[in-house]
Amino acid sequence: MPTEAPSTARLLIACPDARGIVAAVARFISDHGGNLLDADQHTDREHGEFFMRVEFDLTECDLGPGNFAAAWSPLAAAHRMSWRVRFDGQPMRVAILVGTLPHCLQDLLWRYQAGELPIEIPAIISNHDALRPIAAHAGITFHHLPIVNRDKAAQEAAIRELLEREGVELVVLARYMQVLSPAMLHGWENRIINIHHSFLPAFAGGDPYRQAYERGVKLIGATSHYVTEVLDDGPIIAQDVVQVSHRCSVDDLKRMGRDLERTVLARAVRMHVHDRILVSQNKTVVFD
C-alpha cells in the first residue's frame, strides 16, 4: 500500500542572532511553494542566540525528505544554523522504560490510544516483570530485561540493541528507577525524557517526598527533563506544582505527586513529538 505523502513539515532552527533571519526563512519557504502555517521565534539576548520553529504546508511545495537538506543547506551555512526538519506522515516511534509503578505508563497509553499523542510504541521495556499485563492489555510488546548478576552494562547493551532494531526515535522513562550510564546515553542526547518526582532542582535523588515532608514544604512538584550524565540535571522541559499543608502525610504527598508526574510527563512528551523544543546552555526553549 503506497505511503501517503506528508502534508506539512516542521523546521527547528538555532543559530547566532542576526538581522533578517525570519525574512530569509519565510522567503525560502515561499520560493519553494510552501505555505507558512505557524512561526515562532525567541532571542536569547544574553548569549546572542536565535531560535525559531516554523510549520509549513507542502501541498504545492517542491520540498520533501529527499531534497530538503540540499536546498536548505546554503541558507543554514550562511547563518551558522543547527537545524532539524520533520515531515509529517509517520508517527514518531517511542519506547517506554518502566519499573514497577504503573501510573505514568497507564497515562501515556491512555493518551496514545485516545489519539492525543502522534506516536507508535513498538516496545515497553522493564527490568521488572510487574507491568507486563498493562502492556499486554494495550497490545504492545513487553520486554523484560533484568539486571543479572549486577551486570548493568549487559542489560543496557540489550536495551540499546532493542531500541536500534525497532527504529526508536524517543525514549520515555515512565518511572524507570535506574540511573542510565554514559554508555547508554551516548548518541541519545535530548532524546530521552525522564519524569522526576520533585520540583527540580530541589530534592534531587531518591525519596523526594520524604525529603519534602521533613522540610515542611507548602508546594510539591514534578519535573520532566532530558536525561544527561549528571543525575537529575538535564534540560527541564515541563514542571508543575500543587499546594500542600502540614496536614499532609508522606502518603498524601506521594498520591498528589503521582497526579503531577503523569500529567507533566505527558506534557513533555507532547512537546517533543510535536517538535516544539530546542536545547541550549542546558536549558530548553519550548514553543507552546
CA 178, CA 186: separation in Å to the nearest integer?
16
**Among 87, 115, 137, where does a domain finish?**
87
Residues 206 and 219 reside in one and the same domain: yes
Residues 73 and 216 reside in one and the same domain: no
Distance of CA 245 to the CA centre of its chain: 32
On whether the CB atoms of residues 284 and 193 are closer than 8 A, the answer is no
Of 232, 233, 251, 252, the active-site residue reads: 232
Q: How many domains does the chain have?
A: 2
CATH number reported for the structural domain that contains residue 70 in this entry:
3.30.70.260
Of 1-10, 98-107, 259-268, the least confident = 1-10
CATH number reported for the structural domain that contains residue 249 in this entry:
3.40.50.170
> pLDDT tens digits, residue range 18-59?
999 999 999 999 999 999 999 999 999 999 999 999 999 999
Establish whether 38 is a catalytic residue.
no
2 in any annotated domain: no
| The C-alpha cell that represents 143 in the structure block | 520486554
> pLDDT tens digits, residue range 192-248?
999 998 766 677 666 777 877 888 888 888 999 999 999 888 999 999 999 988 898
Q: pLDDT at residue 117 above 90? A: yes
> pLDDT tens digits, residue range 170-179?
999 999 999 9
Residues 53 and 122 reside in one and the same domain: no
1 in any annotated domain: no
For the chain, the three-class secondary structure string (H helix, E strand, C coil) is CCCCCCCEEEEEEEEECCCCHHHHHHHHHHHCCCEEEEEEEEEECCCCEEEEEEEEECCCCCCCCCCHHHHHHHHHHHCCCEEEEEECCCCEEEEEEECCCCHHHHHHHHHHHCCCCCEEEEEEEECCCCCHHHHHHHCCCEEECCCCCCCHHHHHHHHHHHHHHCCCCEEEEECCCCCCCHHHHCCCCCCEEEEECCCCCCCCCCCHHHHHHHHCCCEEEEEEEECCCCCCCCCEEEEEEEECCCCCCHHHHHHHHHHHHHHHHHHHHHHHHCCCEEEECCEEEECC
Residues 117 and 30 reside in one and the same domain: no
Residues 128 and 35 reside in one and the same domain: no
Mean pLDDT of 181-200: 91
**pTM recorded for the entire structure:** 0.91
**Structural domain boundaries enclosing 68:** 8-87
**Among 56, 87, 118, where does a domain finish?**
87
| The C-alpha cell that represents 174 in the structure block | 515512565
